[in-house]
A and B are shown apart, each in its own frame.
Chain A
Amino acid sequence: MKNLRLLVIMALVLALFTGCSSNAPSGDEVDETAKVVNIATDIDLSSMDHHIATDGTSFIAINSCIVGLTELDASGVVQPELAESWDVAYNDDGSTVYTFHLADAKWSNGEMVTADDFVFAWRRLADPATASQYNFIIETITLKNASAVVAGELPPEELGVRALDAKTLEVTLDLPVNFFLGLMAFPTFFPLNQEFFEAQGDQYALSPANLLYNGPFVMEEWVSGNSFSFVKNPDYFKAEDIMIDGLNFRFINDTQSAMLEFESGNLDYVRLTGELVGAYKDDPSFVERLQGYLWYLSVNVADESIDSVNLRKAISLVIDRDSIAANILKDGSIAADGIVPKQLAVGPDGKDYRESAPTFVSTDVEQAKALWEAAKVDLGVDTLEIELLFEDTEASKAVAEFIQSEIETNLEGLTVALKSQPKKSRLELMRNGDYQLGLTRWGPDYADPQTYLDLFLSFNNNAGYDNPVYDQTVLEATTGVTARDAEARWEMLKEAERILLENDCAVIPIYQNGGALMVSTRVQGIELHSVGIDSFKRVTLD
């Protein structure tokens, strides 16, 4: 009798567990003949809604299946995409009007892609009800009335974008923004079909069936936490340019496992973490790249106990940045020359910004020691302890410890207390001004030095940096009369960087992020961009 009862309970427990396990989706079948690229991603796909997405993985996925007015070619130069051509008119008041002429392209439900799709998309982006985390970008391009709409002061219909007819889109900007066309290749500016969107209700973009596509691929499957895949879109208006049948993305958090899978030939693309770089550096599949992220020490100048320009300069001068790049990170990172990274923006002279801008950062221990003596007098102390906040990743920890040892061995009496926090908490502390030194980074939103220099305007930074001359220089270059003269603007941006770094040493640039990849030798044509979205659109397979 007792045994019977035991059996019944065990059976019930088993039924409970097995009852809920029969809904595993199918998929992952491998068709040996299909030309498919298998890509490992260490971050799960967060969103396919291009107004909601904020991270690189999501943007790469969106960029594979939806296209905008322009696109970037392999070398980062703007090329026409949905817009076949465009006209630009400069008005006397400084405003600029772009008129785009659209190509004959279709959505995956057969509808034409029209100018109205852009108007609707941008209105949704600016609408406060959407609460888009990327809506600042519509203000960055100085779209007419964007700030007022984002702030809820004007209705979205007042935005400076309208459809002249189904194939003609007119965009009015307050300023001649020279990175505007490049940003049109960014997913946040992609079109959206109003009718389809409204039919999906709150399910829009939550599954492949709740999305419309107009790009090289259509999404085939999306299993949260596991994988997402795309197949070639036969209705893409440039479908003949697409040489592969599909893309499979596999979410793998552990790089070692991903590399075992890569070596078994099941993956074509894996991002390497720093500790694995040494093992694969000489492999023919190893690829090094430079990324737009610039890491710097933010100094909280609002904290009077450390507010001394001599102290900041001394700290900057003792840090051997080449050593950080070559011996600590070892992933293709390079020492920073300024706050604007390399390969970010090309000037009116056709040269990379950093080629014509001076190097504002150097190492000089003797000078640093003298400045530290002066700093002691400034602050009225003999010894000083300063706190360095960083996030709890391997790379940040190693860099923070190196900076600590550089300071403590070279500047006698100056000690550094390390404070490690998860990234989200570090950001919160820095946002609240609750730190002294913070190891932080910034990734570019668009290909122009302004994306970095704007950060340190007195009303934009949380470090208490407030120099009216700096503000005036940056604002004149980006929104003043000078903004209309590309060459004068370029020189003024360099001047702003000089004030920030040479005069005030308000921030201490450290290094520019590199990245190491393993790319199967059978795959060609992956386009890596230090600004903008990496693209798998024009990949070919051997």
Chain B
Amino acid sequence: MGKYVLKRIAISLLTLLAILFILFLMLEYMPGSPFNDEKLTEAQKILLYAKYGLDQPFFIKFFNYVSKMITGDFGVSYTINMNFAVGDMIASRLPITIKLGLQAITLGSLIGLLLGIVAAIKHNTWIDTITVMISTLGVSVPSYVFALGLAYFVGYKLGWFPILYNMSKAFESSVLPTLALSVFTIANVARFTRSEMIDVLGSDYIRLVQSKGVKEWKLILRHALRNALIPIVTVIGPLMVGLLTGSMVVEKIFAIPGIGSLMVNAIQMNDYNVVIAIAFVYSSLYIFTMLIVDILYGIIDPRIRIAKGGS
């Protein structure tokens, strides 16, 4: 198991370095620059490039960046919050986005699992039909539609929860965005749980357990759900990362100072250091989540870690 984990971690780190290089290369060839306001003269541009080291050759810039990054220095913002340390900007925003993502994934998985299990048990009844309808809607309607609907009806008309994110009422004001974000997870998890459970419930070993007279709830939770979980864990990992990136629009609507809205701003304003740092953070999160999923696989299903080299 230890060797398996170590190997996974090494591959992850190499992947990150490669991603960083590609990001740098892409920004190098992206049209525009952080300093090309219509008011700027050529001489000023040269001054600014020199001040921030943007006039250096590509490989020197890359080397400088990576060697600073290792010490935790992600450079400064050129346009969004001029001369702010990018590391600080991300450090204050990332927890908000992650917290929302975790709330949404927890709520979404729980409701999704419940819906999926109920639908599978009551297969081919009206409950099943409603669940399938909810799943289809949730997958196909984009989250900003739910976000706008929630903001208008629950936030404005009913006035139950704040519409805009409020630092001093962090929980209350996170309710609407969490709901908006969780819809996609609910739908996906419900769909997968339902089909996996139907498969498992129809299998021979379940019939065996049934014939041994095990109680129904025990049969479902202990025997059926456990085996249905493996494919579901596979979906939840990418869903979590999907939530972080997909929260961009929801963050915009609820004015949440998270990392998604910062990313959109940074790309629009050519704020190089912010773009690279956030893209790097996203990649790290993705790779980290995949790593966790891989390890969880190994735990849930021993065949995987044995097949992938040693225990």
A49–B102 Cα gap in the complex (Å)? 37
Q: Is the CB of A21 within 8 A of B99?
A: yes
Interface centre among A28, A254, A256, A441 (most CB of B within 10 A): A254
A129–B44 Cα gap in the complex (Å)? 11
Q: Does B253 contact A (CB under 8 A)?
A: yes
Q: What string of 1s and 0s marks CB contacts (under 8 Å) between B215-233 and chain A? A: 0000000000000000000
Q: Is the CB of A9 within 8 A of B156?
A: no
Using a CB–CB cutoff of 8 Å, the interface residues on chain A facing chain B are 2, 5-6, 9, 13, 17, 20-21, 23-29, 44-47, 49, 52-54, 128-129, 131-136, 150-151, 202, 206, 223-227, 250-254, 256-258, 260-261, 263-264, 266, 421-425, 427-429, 431, 440-442, 445
**CB nearest to A132 among chain B residues:** B44
Q: Is the CB of B168 within 8 A of A26?
A: yes
CB-CB < 8 A to A133: which residues of B?
A: 35, 37, 39-40, 44, 48
Using a CB–CB cutoff of 8 Å, the interface residues on chain B facing chain A are 31-41, 43-44, 47-48, 50-51, 79-84, 89, 91-96, 98-99, 102, 148, 151-152, 155-156, 159, 163-170, 252-255, 257-258, 261-262, 265, 268-270, 292, 295-296, 299-300
A17–B292 Cα gap in the complex (Å)? 14
Q: Is the CB of A427 within 8 A of B262?
A: no
Q: Is the CB of B81 within 8 A of A28?
A: no
CB-CB < 8 A to B253: which residues of A?
A: 254, 256-257
A20–B159 Cα gap in the complex (Å)? 31
Q: Is the CB of B151 within 8 A of A44?
A: no
Q: What's the least CB distance linking B239 to chain A, in Å?
A: 15
Q: Is the CB of A225 within 8 A of B36?
A: no
- Asked if A424 meets B48 with Cβ closer than 8 Å, knowing A52-B82, A225-B89, A254-B255, the reply is no
A131–B83 Cα gap in the complex (Å)? 12
CB-CB < 8 A to A6: which residues of B?
A: 296, 299-300
Q: Is the CB of A23 within 8 A of B92?
A: yes
- Asked if A44 meets B81 with Cβ closer than 8 Å, knowing A251-B255, A424-B269, A424-B270, the reply is yes
Q: Is the CB of A260 within 8 A of B39?
A: no
Q: Is the CB of B39 within 8 A of A428?
A: no
Q: Is the CB of A131 within 8 A of B31?
A: no
- Asked if A46 meets B80 with Cβ closer than 8 Å, knowing A225-B257, A260-B163, A442-B38, the reply is yes
CB-CB < 8 A to B299: which residues of A?
A: 2, 5-6, 9
Q: What's the least CB distance linking A481 to chain B, in Å?
A: 27
Q: Is the CB of A131 within 8 A of B252?
A: no
Q: Is the CB of B93 within 8 A of A225?
A: yes
Q: What's the least CB distance linking B208 to chain A, in Å?
A: 22
Q: Is the CB of B82 within 8 A of A429?
A: no
Q: Is the CB of B81 within 8 A of A45?
A: yes
